[in-house]
Amino acid sequence: MDAIRDLIANDETISDRVAELTMVDHLVSSTVHAIDGKPLPQSTEQLMAKSQSSSPSNVIEMSFWRKASHSVREHIAIAAVFILTFGVTIGVFLGSSPGSYNPDWDTISQHLTQKPSDQVFTLDSQWDLNIQASFINTKDDYCRLFTLRSAAEAHINIACNTGNSWQLHSRLPTDASSPDTYRTASVHPELDALLDSTLKGSFLNRSQENEAIDNHWQSQ
């Protein structure tokens, strides 16, 4: 697992694919929940009542909508596994794109551990780190939203503290010239969807974030 985490942290292509899969999972879950929440048509309810009263062997064990949602889940799961496997394979054999460079993850982790949000830090001659916000995810781990930016490229990242180390959760490419500040209902719908599926409650305020820093980001 450590080798896989390191590969995701150091290979932008793979981390982008993982982020896309996270969004797919969120969208599928939302769609399935919406389907489950819809009432059955009256004609279907009448048909079910008639079938139940006529013979026990004709009882419908699962609604049509639930069968459909189950089928959708199966197909999406198969597709997700294929995409992830394909992406990891390509990343291992092809590596990063020519000329690409990622800053040292240990340096990033050190800043995530020690520094508050709303500050920009120069990591080296090529990359700037802008820590934008902190929050608790649905697994009760502390996470931080940050942007890495160079002259040629930029990406928005989410890293979560699992135990005693920061692990890259998601990475989304963004315009190198766009502002770093994240705003609710931003112009980055992929990030909005990702945060909706990851964030528990709301972003930490400054006092809460300072307390988390003092406590070395220990899980709730």
User: At which of 72, 94, 116 does a domain end?
Assistant: 94
Report DSSP letters for 68-99, one per residue: HHHHHHHHHHHHHHHHHHHHHHHHHHH-SPTT
Residue 178, number of CB atoms within 10 A of its CB: 14
Looking at residue 42, what is its pLDDT? 62
Q: Is residue 220 part of a domain?
A: no
The pTM assigned to this predicted structure is: 0.55
Tell whether 52 and 17 lie within a shared domain.
yes
Domain housing 36: 2-94
What pairing do the DSSP bridges indicate for beta strands 166-174 and 199-200? unpaired
Q: By the 8 A CB rule, do 156 and 188 touch?
A: yes
State pLDDT tens for residues 93-123: 333 333 455 789 999 999 999 999 999 999 9
Please indicate, yes or no, whether residues 6 and 63 belong to a single structural domain of this protein.
yes
Q: How far is CA 176 from CA 73, 120, 151, 157, in A?
A: 36, 15, 7, 14
Residue 46's pLDDT band, with cuts at 50, 70 and 90, is low
| pLDDT, average across residues 39-54 | 59
Q: Which carries the bigger pLDDT value, residue 13 or residue 68?
A: 13
State which of 94, 118, 138 marks the end of a domain. 94
Instruction: Using the 3D structure, point to which of 94, 113, 139 is the last residue of a domain.
Output: 94
Q: What does the alpha-carbon distance between residue 117 and residue 130 come to, in Å, rounded to a whole number?
A: 8
**What per-residue confidence (pLDDT) applies to 9?**
62
Q: Which of 172, 163, 104, 164 is nearest to 139 (CA)?
A: 163
Which phi and psi angles does 91 have, rounded to 5°?
A: -65, -40
For residue 98, CA distances in Å to 85, 87, 94, 208 come to 22, 17, 10, 42
Same structural domain, 81 and 118:
no
Average pLDDT over residues 80-100: 39
Could you tell me the sign of the dihedral formed by the alpha carbons of 79, 82, 86, 89, in that order?
Answer: positive
More confident residue, 59 or 118: 118
Domain total in the chain: 2
> Is there a single domain that holds both residue 129 and residue 70?
no
H or E segment at 11?
none
Higher pLDDT, 181 or 10: 10
Is residue 33 a part of any domain in this protein? yes
- Please write the tens of the pLDDT for every residue from 153-185: 999 999 999 888 999 999 998 877 655 555 444
Are 117 and 201 in a shared domain?
A: yes
- Whether 219 is covered by a domain: the verdict is no
